[in-house]
C-alpha cells in the first residue's frame, strides 16, 4: 500500500513533526511526502522517505470574501500538482495533513480518483467559513481523522459523522537513564545560564497570542515575588504570522519587568525537546483551546509533570490530580498556585511524573497511532474495492448497507 502524505507548507511545527514520526513507524505502508520546498522535505529525505515537491500555497482562512476567493484560486495550482503526482506515483490514498491540505487535495479528486483523508489538527473555524469547510468535507473527504474529540466535535453531524476517526498523536517512548538525565540537566542549564539548584518552568510551542505565553511569565513572576528561586524557559519561535512577531516583543518586554527580571530565557526553536524536558522541573501549557498538545505527551513521557489549561483536547491527555494539574484558561493565579504546589513538593512531583509517563505509554505511543491509521487505510481500500465489485444497478442499495454498518 502506498500513501501520499500531503502538507500545504514546507515549514515544520507540531503537525509536521507528527507526520514524519508517524510515517517512520508505518509497517504495511510505503509513505510518500508531498510538500513545498523547505524543512519538511529536507527532514523527510534525511529519513530516507520518498518525496515530491509541490508548489507553495499561501492561502489563509479568512472571513473577507475577496481574500477568500483569492485564496481559493491560489489553491488550484498545488491541487492539480497533487492530483497529477498521485497518479504518476501510483499512490493508493492521499492523506492530507491539515484542513487546508484537505481542501487542496480534494479539488481535483475527480482527476486522481483516490480516497482523500482529511487530518484535522486544529480547531475548525466558526461561522460561515467553518460551515463551508464542513460541507466540503462531507462532499470530498473519504475519512476525517481528528487528533482529539474536541477537534472532531464540529464535524459530528449528518453523513460526515460516519466517516470520523479519533487518532491521537503519538510519541516515541524512550528509556532514559538517570545518568543521561543528570548530564542533560547540567549541559542545558549551563547553556541557558540557569543555576543547577533553581526551579525551572518551561513552556514549549510556537509563540502566538493563543498560546498565551504571557500567562506563564506572569505566573512565574508571582512565584519569584514569593521568594522562590524560579526561572522560566520560553521555547519556540514566532512564525507564520506578523502578529506572532509582535506578540514576542510584548513577551520580552513583560519578562524584563519586576521580580522576574533576568530569569526568563527565550531559546527560539529547539530540536532537543526531550533533553529540555529532562533539564526542567515543570512544564506549563497555557493555550486557549489547544487542539491536542503534543508537547504534553513529550514531557509526560519523560516523567516531567505538567500544569495545563482545562480546554480543547488537553483534558483527554491529562487526568487532573493524577498525571498533571489543570486550570481554567487565563486564570494566572490558579496556574501559579498549581505550579508552586508541585515545585515545593519534590516527592509529589516525582509521583505525578511517573503516573504521567505510564499514561503516555498506555495511550499515546507512536506505534498505536501508526497502527490505527493503517487500519483506517485498509478499511477505505476494502470499502472502495467492494463498491467497485457491486453491479451498477445495485450500487445505491449497497451504499446504504455499508453506511449503516459504519
3-class SS string, 269-322: CCCCHHHHHHHCCEEEECCCCCCCCHHHHHHHHCCCCEEEECCCCHHHCCCECC
158 lies in the same domain as 33: yes
Enter the C-alpha cell of residue 331: 486564570
For the chain, give the longest Cα–Cα distance.
78
* CB neighbours of residue 11 within 10 Å: 15
Given a contact cutoff of 8 angstroms between Cβ atoms, the answer to whether 291 and 191 are in contact is no
User: What is the domain range of residue 85?
Assistant: 2-170+377-405
Helix (H, G, I), strand (E, B) or coil at 200: strand
H or E segment and range at residue 19: helix 14-25
194 lies in the same domain as 127: no
H or E segment and range at residue 347: helix 346-363
- CB proximity list for 238: less than 8 A, separation 6 or greater: 206, 207, 208, 244, 245, 247, 248
CA atoms within 13 A on the CB side of 59: 28
Residue 68 falls inside a structural domain: yes
Give the residue carrying C-alpha cell 511524573. 353
218 lies in the same domain as 154: no
- CA 400 vs CA 140, 155, 275: distances in Å: 18, 20, 52
313: closest CA among 331, 332, 298, 297?
Answer: 297
H or E segment and range at residue 396: helix 395-405
DSSP string, 163-174: GEEE----B---
Taking the alpha carbons of 285, 118, 25, 79 in that order, is the dihedral positive or negative?
A: negative
pTM, full prediction: 0.88
Q: What is the CATH number of the domain that holds 87?
A: 3.40.50.2000
Residue 286 falls inside a structural domain: yes
Given a contact cutoff of 8 angstroms between Cβ atoms, the answer to whether 282 and 304 are in contact is yes
- Output the tens digit of pLDDT for each of the chain's 406 residues: 999 999 999 999 889 999 999 999 999 999 999 999 999 999 999 999 999 999 998 666 555 666 766 776 888 999 999 999 999 999 999 999 999 999 999 999 999 999 999 999 998 888 888 888 899 999 999 999 999 999 999 898 888 899 999 999 999 998 899 999 999 999 999 999 999 999 999 999 999 999 999 999 999 999 999 999 999 999 999 987 899 999 999 999 999 988 999 999 999 999 899 999 999 999 999 999 899 999 999 999 999 999 999 999 999 999 999 999 999 999 999 999 999 999 999 999 999 999 999 999 999 999 999 999 999 999 999 887 777 654 544 344 334 333 333 3
Residue 372 falls inside a structural domain: no
304: closest CA among 359, 249, 261?
Answer: 359
114 lies in the same domain as 189: no
Give the residue carrying C-alpha cell 470520523. 164
Enter the C-alpha cell of residue 376: 483506517
147 lies in the same domain as 220: no
42 lies in the same domain as 126: yes
Helix (H, G, I), strand (E, B) or coil at 325: strand
190 lies in the same domain as 109: no
Give the ranges where 97-241 is alpha helix by DSSP (H): 99-107, 109-112, 127-140, 149-152, 178-191, 213-225
Total residues belonging to the chain? 406
105 lies in the same domain as 37: yes
Residue 371 falls inside a structural domain: no
18 lies in the same domain as 152: yes
Residue 368 falls inside a structural domain: no
Give the residue carrying C-alpha cell 500545504. 8
Residue 152 falls inside a structural domain: yes
Residue 391 falls inside a structural domain: yes
Rounded-to-integer distance, Cα 77 and Cα 85, Å: 12
26 lies in the same domain as 125: yes
Given a contact cutoff of 8 angstroms between Cβ atoms, the answer to whether 4 and 34 are in contact is yes
CA angle 12, 18, 24 (to 5 degrees): 105
342 lies in the same domain as 252: yes
Per the structure, the count of domains in the chain is 2
Rounded-to-integer distance, Cα 275 and Cα 265, Å: 16
Rounded-to-integer distance, Cα 52 and Cα 247, Å: 35
198 lies in the same domain as 341: yes
Residue 156 falls inside a structural domain: yes
Amino acid at each position: 500500500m502506498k500513501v501520499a502524505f500531503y502538507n500545504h507548507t514546507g515549514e515544520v511545527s507540531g503537525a509536521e513533526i507528527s507526520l514524519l514520526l508517524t510515517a517512520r513507524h508505518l509497517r504495511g505502508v510505503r509513505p510518500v511526502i508531498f510538500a513545498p520546498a523547505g524543512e519538511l522535505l529536507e527532514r523527510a529525505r534525511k529519513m530516507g522517505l520518498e518525496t515530491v515537491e509541490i508548489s507553495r500555497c499561501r492561502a489563509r482562512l479568512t472571513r473577507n470574501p475577496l481574500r477568500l476567493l483569492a485564496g481559493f484560486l491560489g489553491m488550484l495550482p498545488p491541487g492539480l500538482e497533487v492530483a497529477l503526482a498521485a497518479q504518476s506515483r501510483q499512490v493508493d490514498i492521499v492523506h492530507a495533513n491539515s484542513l487546508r491540505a484537505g481542501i487542496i487535495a480534494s479539488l481535483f479528486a475527480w482527476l486522481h480518483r483516490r480516497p482523500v483523508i482529511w487530518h484535522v489538527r486544529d480547531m475548525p473555524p466558526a461561522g460561515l467559513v467553518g460551515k463551508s469547510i464542513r460541507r466540503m468535507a462531507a462532499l470530498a473527504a473519504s475519512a476525517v481523522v481528528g487528533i482529539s474529540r474536541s477537534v472532531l466535535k464540529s464535524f459530528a453531524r449528518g453523513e460526515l459523522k460516519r466517516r470520523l476517526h479519533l487518532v491521537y498523536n503519538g510519541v516515541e517512548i524512550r528509556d532514559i537513564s538517570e545518568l543521561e538525565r543528570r548530564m542533560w540537566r547540567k549541559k542545558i542549564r549551563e547553556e541557558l545560564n540557569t543555576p543547577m539548584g533553581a526551579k525551572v518552568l518551561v513552556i514549549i510551542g510556537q509563540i502566538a497570542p493563543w498560546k498565551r505565553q504571557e500567562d506563564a511569565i506572569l505566573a512565574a513572576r508571582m512565584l519569584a515575588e514569593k521568594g522562590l528561586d524560579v526561572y522560566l524557559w520560553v521555547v519556540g519561535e514566532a512564525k507564520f504570522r506578523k502578529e506572532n512577531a509582535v506578540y514576542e516583543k510584548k513577551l520580552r518586554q513583560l519578562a524584563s519587568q519586576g521580580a522576574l527580571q533576568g530569569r526568563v530565557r527565550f531559546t527560539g526553536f529547539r530540536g532537543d525537546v526531550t533533553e529540555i524536558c529532562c533539564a526542567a522541573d515543570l512544564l506549563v501549557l497555557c493555550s486557549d483551546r489547544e487542539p491536542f498538545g503534543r508537547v504534553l505527551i513529550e514531557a509526560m513521557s519523560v516523567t516531567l509533570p505538567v500544569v495545563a489549561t482545562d480546554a480543547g483536547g488537553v483534558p483527554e491527555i491529562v487526568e487532573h490530580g493524577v498525571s498533571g494539574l489543570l486550570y481554567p484558561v487565563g486564570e494566572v493565579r490558579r496556574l501559579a498556585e498549581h505550579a508552586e504546589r508541585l515545585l515545593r513538593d519534590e516527592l509529589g512531583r516525582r509521583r505525578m511524573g511517573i503516573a504521567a509517563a505510564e499514561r503516555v505509554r498506555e495511550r499515546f505511543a507512536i506505534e498505536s497511532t501508526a497502527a490505527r491509521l493503517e487500519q483506517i487505510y485498509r478499511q477505505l481500500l476494502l470499502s472502495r474495492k467492494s463498491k467497485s465489485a457491486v453491479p451498477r444497478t445495485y450500487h445505491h442499495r449497497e451504499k446504504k448497507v455499508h453506511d449503516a454498518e459504519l
